[in-house]
Amino acid sequence: MSNTENFSRHISEGYQPKGDYIYLGAAMYKGEVHADAAVKIPLKTMNRHGLIAGATGTGKSKTLQILAENLSKKGVPVLLMDVKGDLSGIAKPSDEEDFIYARHEKLKFPFEASGSPVEILSLSEEEGVRLRATVSEFGPVLLSRILDLSDTQSGILSIIFKYCDDNHLPLLDLKDLKKILQFATGEGKEEFENSYGRISVASTGAILRKIVGLEQQGADKFFGEKSFEVEDLTRKNTEGYGFINILRLTDIQDRPKLFSTFMLSLLAEIYNTFPEQGDSDKPKLVLFIDEAHLIFEQASRALQDQIESIVKLIRSKGVGIYFVTQNPTDVPADVLGQLGLKIQHALRAFTAKDRKAIKLAAENYPISDFYDTKTELTSLGIGEALVTALDEKGRPTPLAATMLRAPMSRMDILTKEELKELTANSALIAKYNQEIDRESAYEILTGKIDRADADKAREKAKEERKKFEKASTGRGRKSSNGTEKAIVKVLTSATFIRGVMGVLNKLMK
């Protein structure tokens, strides 16, 4: 048997799922495509997480598109983090260009153009369904890690939440949280000290400054009502296709703190909400995080630890997470070790640093008798990638340099008119896009402070009135005594005058 035949057999045996699967493409060896060596990913292993990596322009976004639309066709809902804004075309069928058919001719695999059911989501004022969460839903522990608080500051935040729970003060948005922090060391200082101990003004000031920093990245638009219900990410259309939920993040690329805040809250909410699924035939939901380095590059150690913990645990809920980034080293090693599917597009070796990164990247893949991994990483063309996955028994499949199939949907973005039409037909817009600002901690505390100020003002006015009345009474008595003396004096003078006049009258007679 020739080496080429050995290769085809080696790949075919490694990628022959017994259950349902996603067809990625066909393996390549010595520059030739071997259509009989199909690369298939078992659907039941898609909750084991994965990585799509490669240099700019090598086809990462199209690979993401292939996986997302095929998952949708299999009835698996998807959430895409669209940082660059180039994934909305999934809603429309492919333009069926000649190079697509030429590629599929090599793969010996039929091509069928089709769009997928899509829901557009947004964290800001962009078109789409607004995603929000309340401060209470975050809780003090998660919020402390997002704000990177010290142990002392975290303790104070826990006391703040406890006070709000005890006094039925809803913490919905950041203005609620800022108000209660100011109240704790201001008008409510005595109340807090009596029930929870002394709270430092310096500590609350530090927390407030970090909240303001989070606000400046746009978090004030994210915190509030109505809270997004994660079950709405698992919808299917009438044909049984899973919805592809595209979260447009083009306007927060320079605000990684907000991005990581949202991601952590979403993962935590999914983990706390979804029931345990165990081993099933397919995932309940799959998340693709484009430009994944944005989550990790400015995250604190505590925040990274939280993300790593959730990634390890969330697959038991039937949820798969796929990180899309330029280099595997962008993802922390502890997270990288949890990833079952790895699709590595070409890397570029322009500098010594690049060559070192390629060497490290090659070490993340199984040793192969057919490939020099480091060489392959720099010679792959656009739409080609090194692939390794897990089989249905959880074993790593052989490394395969793969020519990937083309996406069935449009490899371009929607026009503004198409985007407006898509959002106009959304079933979730009416549910989530109405802003709600019900009475919460801010309004309740403001009312409490206003009433306290009014009571103080009335008490002060009462005291001032008493002082005035007392002073007025004293002046009244003084004036009365003076009048009496004046009257006596006048009467005495009048008597004297009458006496004198009487004497003069007698003399004149």
Query: Residue ranges of the domains in the chain?
Result: 3-132+225-427
**C-alpha closest to that of 158 among 174, 170, 141:** 141
User: What are the tens digits of pLDDT across the range 282-306?
Assistant: 999 999 998 888 777 766 676 677 7
Q: How far apart are CA 350 and CA 334, in angstroms?
A: 28
Task: Say yes or no to pLDDT of 251 above 50.
Answer: yes
Task: Say yes or no to pLDDT of 497 above 90.
Answer: no
Above pLDDT 90, what percent of the chain?
Answer: 41
Task: Say yes or no to pLDDT of 308 above 90.
Answer: no
Residues 6+ apart with CB under 8 A from 113: 93, 94, 95, 96, 408, 409
pLDDT recorded at residue 361: 83
Q: Phi first, then psi: give them for residue 244, nearest 5 degrees.
A: -100, 110
Rounded mean pLDDT of the chain?
Answer: 84
User: What are the tens digits of pLDDT across the range 115-140?
Assistant: 999 999 988 777 889 888 888 888 89
| Token reading at 298 | 């400015």
Residues 6+ apart with CB under 8 A from 503: none
pTM, to two decimals: 0.81
Q: How far apart are CA 477 and CA 479, in angstroms?
A: 5
User: What are the tens digits of pLDDT across the range 65-120?
Assistant: 999 999 999 999 999 998 888 899 999 999 989 999 999 999 999 999 999 999 99
Task: Say yes or no to pLDDT of 46 above 80.
Answer: yes
The H or E element containing residue 130 is: strand 129-130
pLDDT recorded at residue 507: 43
DSSP letter assigned to residue 125: S
What is the separation, in whole angstroms, between the first and last Cα of the chain? 175
pLDDT recorded at residue 338: 86
pLDDT recorded at residue 468: 66
Q: Average pLDDT in the 183-188 region?
A: 87
Residue 71 near residue 286, CB atoms below 8 Å: yes
Neighbouring C-beta atoms of residue 26, cutoff 10 Å: 24
Residue 377 near residue 55, CB atoms below 8 Å: no
**C-alpha closest to that of 107 among 10, 4, 37:** 37
pLDDT recorded at residue 456: 62
Q: How many helices (H) and strands (E) does the chain have?
A: 18, 12
pLDDT recorded at residue 264: 80
Q: For 3-132+225-427, which CATH superfamily applies?
A: P-loop containing nucleotide triphosphate hydrolases (3.40.50.300)
